[in-house]
Structure 1
């Protein structure tokens, strides 16, 4: 006598439940490493043309080519990062001493030049109101952990975890170089089987978007941080490397970078250094922001054919939802959504006619 499991619908339900369970448990097992694997995938994709050139120079020696590329990418990322960390650590020590002095003695007196600004009287009144309450200033700095050694230890622990993730990403990068062609072929085959020929367009949208985000957002932010740091150094800003790194991090969000150099320009102006303030402001407006406002939209919107507003929203939403890796995941998800939308429009037009 046939059982209920002998029916085609029941077998499909059981098979689907089995697949969902297996893949769900697999994702759960790999979840601690997904961010590192995603970074290694992004690095492999962006540097793949260089890897192919190394393979052509070393025929039939794929392992050696993968090893050389992995070492090269690691050195390219690690050496500048170590230099930045050492420089920022020295600047951070001086900044921490200044913060401790403010916490102990209160805010310094506001320079007299502020009163001559438009609205300077109101600014001075608000500053003096805060200055008159040193206990409130100490409470705010304590809440932010700016003078707490324990908070700094937590930061150091976070750096250690990120170093471990970086090591895992580098380890995975070697295998992606060596087996990348096979892995990509398998992904294309499975995607085509499930989604049809449209899957090729989706995968193309993912690749183009990742490359555009890397060059349009990450490299642009690094360039802005470098150019801004140079301007801070010339203007005589204390801890220019630290402020340059802050500018680069803030500039990952489009059009937010000017907040840093405008604030530092006003600080110089408040201390009576009008020439340095004007020079830093012009440098930021004509050079640093030019990179942000002109190059970034062209680099991103051109190859992806996606409105820059959507990429901007994808960056913000991705950062909120996934953290730093969301810089790529957010725009990629939007790119695939736009590709699906355009495909539907293409199918709808003949019917409408």
Structure 2
């Protein structure tokens, strides 16, 4: 009876493992985003979970349940509050838009004197005054043409809410069994890679911490400070605009688009002083928060360059969506750790 060659004995298990990995990926693909979100949330709040575990006398299930309830309250309570405020502010925005269409304000004199823009603005104002119902008709036509897009957007919001609920469910098991999972992952990686797997895991963990605190918390602070400026400037929806600014702040160099647009709106309404104040507040305070807090957290990562984290954030968003905000920098941080490990061995040689 013929025996298998040494090459086939080594190759067949690896092929079987690769096929099994492909099957696992096909099964788990719909759940990868909730798993990633649950992992990020669990890692970011792990110190609090350890304290709860000590308070509960080492009872893992009880501590995990309390931590999950706190996470649900932390995530859903602000969302419900913002939704209620947004509904209130949208109710005030609609009459303001109707008033603007019925009686568009006169652009500032200095804006009218601009060679091309001033003439175009005056022409648009005259067309609105001559046919105020035309804009409403155009709006209805645009809404009817984009009804399918609105349905897709609503479906996307619903799917994201389902993913959020699933991520919070997974979060409970990460809280309860996360320490054991981490020990098993580290043990398996050390068997495949060697002792340097510890350095790769440390790089992934430190980058996750830096991205969560350096980007997410910085964006929340920027949105809060910008919303305060919008309220002082007299804008009708400071909370909604503050939330939009926080979302823009998640993207590198995206904050000026938010406070710059708010200032441009005030300028078009003739509030020159308020517009200049918003621009000064945005450039001198809101954007500078990003320059102070984010490098402070990123510097805690160690030798990982800030440019690498920047590429990870932007490329991760383009590749994986919002969860790529965290996945991208983590992947590049692990690659950087591998590179530094190999480069160090080359220097030793």
Length-normalised TM-score, structure 2:
0.89
8 Å CA contact 1:230–1:240 kept in 2: the answer is yes
Answer with 225-234 or 205-214: which moved more: 225-234
Partner of 2:57, secondary structure, is coil
Q: 1:121 aligns with which of 91, 115, 122?
A: 115
Answer with 126-135 or 45-54: which moved more: 126-135
Distance 1:179 1:143, change over 3 A: farther
- The aligned residue for residue 285 of structure 2 is 287
CA distance in 2, matches of 1:266, 1:117: 12
Distance 1:349 1:143, change over 3 A: farther
8 Å CA contact 2:233–2:277 kept in 1: the answer is yes
Gaps of 5+ in 1: none
Cα shift at 1:85: 1.8
8 Å CA contact 2:227–2:238 kept in 1: the answer is yes
Cα shift at 1:255: 1.9
Q: Does 1:175 align with 2:170?
A: no
8 Å CA contact 2:233–2:278 kept in 1: the answer is yes
Cα shift at 1:286: 2.5
Gaps of 5+ in 2: none
CA distance in 1, matches of 2:104, 2:303: 52
Partner of 2:115, secondary structure, is helix
Answer with 36-45 or 130-139: which moved more: 130-139
Distance 1:183 1:279, change over 3 A: same
Count matched residues. Answer: 345
Distance 1:123 1:178, change over 3 A: same
8 Å CA contact 1:70–1:173 kept in 2: the answer is yes
Cα shift at 1:277: 2.1
CA distance in 2, matches of 1:146, 1:282: 40
- The aligned residue for residue 237 of structure 1 is 235
Answer with 271-280 or 66-75: which moved more: 271-280
Query: 1:180-199 residue pairs with structure 2 within 5 A?
Result: 180-199=178-197
Q: 1:217 aligns with which of 205, 215, 218?
A: 215
CA distance in 2, matches of 1:143, 1:216: 43
Q: Does 1:260 align with 2:258?
A: yes
Cα shift at 1:247: 0.9
Distance 1:13 1:336, change over 3 A: same
CA distance in 2, matches of 1:89, 1:235: 21
Distance 1:245 1:168, change over 3 A: same
Q: 1:112 aligns with which of 107, 112, 121?
A: 107
Partner of 1:74, secondary structure, is helix
CA distance in 1, matches of 2:137, 2:277: 36
Distance 1:244 1:140, change over 3 A: farther
Cα shift at 1:111: 3.1
Answer with 264-273 or 129-138: which moved more: 129-138
- CA offset digits 1:213-263 (Å, max 9, x no partner): 011111111111121112112211122222112111111112220121122
Distance 1:276 1:177, change over 3 A: same
CA distance in 2, matches of 1:144, 1:42: 40
CA distance in 1, matches of 2:328, 2:187: 25
